[in-house]
Chain A
Amino acid sequence: MTGMAQIRIARRVLTECIAAIAFPILLISLLVFPVASPVVAETDRSRGRWCGAETMPLKPSDNSWAQWVSLRLRSRSLWRTDLPVLVTAALLSALSLLVAFFGFIGAAVLVFSPVFWLLGIAAQVGPFTPDSVGQTFLAVPAGVILGSVTTAVLTGTSFLRDLFQRAFSRGGDPDLLAKLEELRTSRASLTAAFEFERQRIERDLHDGAQQELVAVVMRLGMLEAAATSAATDRERVVRLAREAQAQAERALERLRETVRDIHPRELSDLGLIAAVRELAARSPLRVELTSTGDDSQLSSPTATAVYFTVSEALTNIAKHAHAGVARVDLRCTTTDVHVRVRDDGVGGARIDAGSGLAGLRERMRSVGGNLDILSPPGGGTQVSASAPGQPPW
């Protein structure tokens, strides 16, 4: 048996003993079961985990017990899982109490039977009473066996708890499953959006600042070669120096653009509406912006997702739509944010996998929102996105 397995068995026996002692508390718990059962069931899940069973405490670590219990009270899981767990916990604790009490005390008395005999006591266990010193020595192995059997039964009881725990959790309630599915999807979206974003930044740096800097270094190399060669005229040296300087400035400019695209300063400083206004002002297009509401209630990831949606949409219009004017409608309410970017261009846009818009849709979904486009050929393009002000998780 490996060390870990031994430790787990020891933990099972220990937790059974604690459960046995806690039997009176569990009995009282039954009277206040609505509040007690989530707590007991959660404790039992923690116990299972500690003992190596395949179970998982459900309470989020940043929830207080009061918060979590009140949430659990409104869920069907209270009746389906927690209450049955409480009842079986109480019943099994009664069993453990009986087994541990009689088993361990009996075992101890038997093992120490010779000692008791010396003290002049004929220690009785059940129907057995020693009537000679020889019999007391026979009692010692019997005590060891009784102790082992007690340990085995307690371990078995502990496994029985796992079994019930699993049986009552099986299937789960539909609400929870739906929520789980939603979370799974949004987590996948988030990972995809994150990955997409990192690739975009890598590409921007590689094609932008890095490229320019390589050119600067080359130009400086030429400058050095020219300056150290006796045959070069001054004019060439000056020209190369100026070119290198101009190129370094372009590299800085590209770097600034990349940094801005990672996270625009004004978004965190001034909020979504001001940042979108700035975006509209910087766009090469004529942008008609209408914004309503208060953006102070938006979570930062939500505001960022909306900002980049507008940014990407405007970039696309400038690049592909052949449109003269773009309209941006931004509405912030206390609970949601909606944005619509329209143009009167050629239309026919689609959300292709791997495109900027696909990445943004993932990003909007990662904050609990969504993004759609409407782009009939010849009929202009409309990108609409909306999201709750706070992500629902």
Chain B
Amino acid sequence: MRIVLADDSVLIRAGIREILTSHDHDVIRECEDADELVAVVDELVRSGDAPDMVITDVRMPPKNTDDGLRAAIDLRSRHRDLPVLVLSAYVTGPYVRELLSGPGADGAVGYLLKEKVGRVADFLRAVETVSAGGVVIDPEVVRHATRADSPQGPLARLTAREREVLAHMAEGRSNAEIATELFLSGAAVSKHVANVFVKLGMPPDEDNRRVKAILTWFAYN
């Protein structure tokens, strides 16, 4: 996969690059700040050489606030099929919500805590999931954002178990993984997932139901 990587710390960039390149990915460009990231991606897309994915930090120059997130939202709105994985030092719901609710493709987006890169296998799977159009939200952020006590909107229609399954879906887990983690049979998980889709009003012929369900989960959490 051809990846554009943006982080203002040389140290972190080197680490991520090493992990990616030793697993058959290419870091085609590295950027030190958000403006550079936007310019580089725009230029690559213009020259017909669009990257397969962007991995970016949140806090970067020029303003050193949430510039990376802004750049990610901007890029997603203009290059609708570009998968974007945001790496962050912050466990904050609002950032994720903004990223997910911003204009752009439904899906092909992820938000991971930066240190999760160290879980190499998980990180690489997140990269694959996002590039394949999925959504991956860091489990810690999911936990942080979960309001078990008072489900809102359409989520109120779900049972506690279905909400739990949905939270695992938000972390980018497959049905099989959810089955293992929750000690359920594969059939039971499939049934819960199907119920989630029906209760959130997603007909079987709709594309990307999984992603849409996750977006709903985040919108109402």
The residue on B at minimum CB distance from A221 is: B118
Q: Is there a chain B Cβ closer than 8 Å to A220's Cβ?
A: yes
Which of A206, A213, A218 lies in contact with B117, CB distance below 8 A? Answer: A218
| Complex contact A221–B119 (CB within 8 A) | yes
A215 contacts B15, C-beta separation under 8 Å = yes
Give the shortest distance, in Å, between B13 (CB) and chain A (any CB). Answer: 10
Q: Give Cα distance in the complex from A215 to B11, angstroms.
A: 7
Select from chain A the residue with minimum beta-carbon distance to B124: A225
| Residue of A207, A210, A211, A221 touching B19 (CB-CB under 8 A) | A221
Please, which residues of chain B bring their CB within 8 A of the CB of A167?
Answer: none
Interface size on B, residues (CB 8 A): 18
Provide the bound-state CA to CA distance between A207 and B11, in Å: 11
B115 within 8 A of A: yes
Q: Which residues from chain A contact B115 at a C-beta distance below 8 Å?
A: 213-214, 217-218
Q: Which residues of chain B are near A214, meaning CB under 8 Å?
A: 12, 15, 89, 114-115, 117-118
Q: Is A295 an interface residue (CB 8 A)?
A: no
A224 sits at the interface (CB 8 A):
yes
Known: A206-B89, A218-B19, A222-B18. A211 touches B12 (CB 8 A): yes
Query: What's the Cα separation between A388 and B115 when bound, in Å?
Result: 47
B11 and A217 form a contact (CB under 8 A): no
Task: List B contacts of A225 (CB < 8 A).
Answer: 19, 22, 120-121
Whether the pair A206, B59 counts as a contact (CB closer than 8 A) is yes
The answer for the CA separation of A221 and B15 in the assembled complex, in Å, is 10
Residues of A within 8 A of B22 (CB): 222, 225
Does residue A331 face the partner (Cβ distance < 8 Å to B)? no
Task: Kindly state whether residue B185 has any CB partner on chain A within 8 Å.
Answer: no
Bound CA–CA A178/B59 (angstroms): 44
- B9 proximal to A (CB < 8 A): yes
* Chain A residue at minimum C-beta to C-beta distance from B122: A221
Whole-angstrom distance between the alpha carbons of A217 and B119 in the complex?
A: 8
A209 to chain B, nearest CB (A): 11
What residue in chain B is nearest A250 (Cβ atoms)? B11
In the bound assembly, the distance between CA atoms of A207 and B8 in angstroms comes to 10
A387 and B69 alpha carbons, distance in the complex (Å): 44
Q: Which of B11, B16, B120 contacts A211 (CB 8 A)?
A: B11
A252 → B minimal CB distance (Å): 15
From 165 to 223 in chain A, residues with beta carbon under 8 angstroms from any chain B beta carbon are 206-207, 210-215, 217-222
Q: Which residues of the other chain, B, contact A220 by a CB distance below 8 angstroms?
A: 118
Interface size class on chain A is: 10 to 19
With known contacts A215-B11, A215-B12, A215-B15, A210–B89 Cβ distance under 8 A: yes
Instruction: Choose one: B18, B59, B118, B121; the contact of A217 (CB below 8 Å).
Output: B118
- Most chain A CB inside 10 Å of its own CB: which residue of B19, B22, B115: B115
- CB-CB under 8 A from A222, the residues of chain B are 15, 18-19, 22, 120
Expressed in whole angstroms, the Cα–Cα distance for A219 and B22 within the complex equals: 13
Residues in chain A near residue B59, CB distance under 8 A:
206
Contact A211 B117 (CB under 8 A): no
Give A205's nearest chain B residue, CB to CB.
B89
* Proximity bits, B16-32, A CB within 8 Å = 1, else 0: 10110010000000000
Taking the closest CB of chain B, its distance from the CB of A241, in whole angstroms, is 14
Q: How far is the CB of B217 from chain A (nearest CB, A)?
A: 27
Which residues from B are CB-within-8-Å of A206?
59, 89
Q: How far, in whole Å, are A215 and B115 apart by their CA atoms in the complex?
A: 8
Instruction: Give the residues in chain A near B16, CB-CB below 8 Å.
Output: 218
Query: Once the chains are docked, how many angstroms separate the CA of A131 from the CA of B125?
Result: 105
Q: A213 vs B59: C-alpha distance in the bound complex, in angstroms?
A: 16
Contacts of B157-180 to chain A: CB distance below 8 A: none
Which A residues lie within 8 Å of B11 (CB)? Answer: 211-212, 215
User: In the complex, which residues of chain B have a beta carbon less than 8 angstroms from the beta carbon of A217?
Assistant: 115, 117-118
The chain A residue sitting closest to B119, CB to CB, is A221
- Kindly name the residue among A206, A218, A220 whose own CB sees the greatest number of chain B CB atoms within 10 A: A218
Bound-state CA distance A80–B11 (Å) is: 69
Distance of A245 from chain B, by nearest CB (Å) = 15
| Minimum Cβ distance to chain B for residue A286 (Å) | 31
Bound Cα distance from A224 to B120, whole angstroms: 9
Chain B residues within an 8 Å CB radius of A213: 115
CB distance from B179 to the nearest CB of A (A): 25
Digit string of B74-117 for contact with A (CB within 8 Å is 1, else 0)? 00000000000000010000000000000000000000001101
Assess whether A219 is in contact with B15, with CB atoms less than 8 Å apart: yes
CA gap between A91 and B59 in the complex, in Å? 69
A206–B8 alpha-carbon span in the complex (Å): 12
Q: With A206-B59, A218-B19, A219-B15 in contact, do A211 and B9 touch (Cβ < 8 Å)?
A: yes
How far apart are the CA atoms of A206 and B9 in the complex, in Å? 11
Interface residues of B (CB under 8 A from A): 9, 11-12, 15-16, 18-19, 22, 59, 89, 114-115, 117-121, 123
Knowing that A218-B115, A221-B123 touch, tell me 19 more A-B residue pairs with CB under 8 angstroms: A207-B9, A210-B89, A211-B12, A212-B11, A214-B89, A214-B118, A215-B15, A217-B115, A218-B12, A218-B15, A218-B16, A218-B118, A219-B118, A221-B120, A222-B18, A222-B22, A222-B120, A225-B120, A225-B121
Across the A-B interface, the 9 shortest Cβ-Cβ residue pairs: A221-B118, A217-B118, A218-B15, A221-B120, A217-B115, A225-B120, A218-B118, A215-B11, A214-B115
Some 13 contacts from A to B, beta carbons below 8 A apart, are: A206-B59, A206-B89, A207-B9, A210-B89, A213-B115, A214-B115, A214-B117, A215-B11, A217-B118, A218-B15, A221-B117, A222-B15, A225-B22
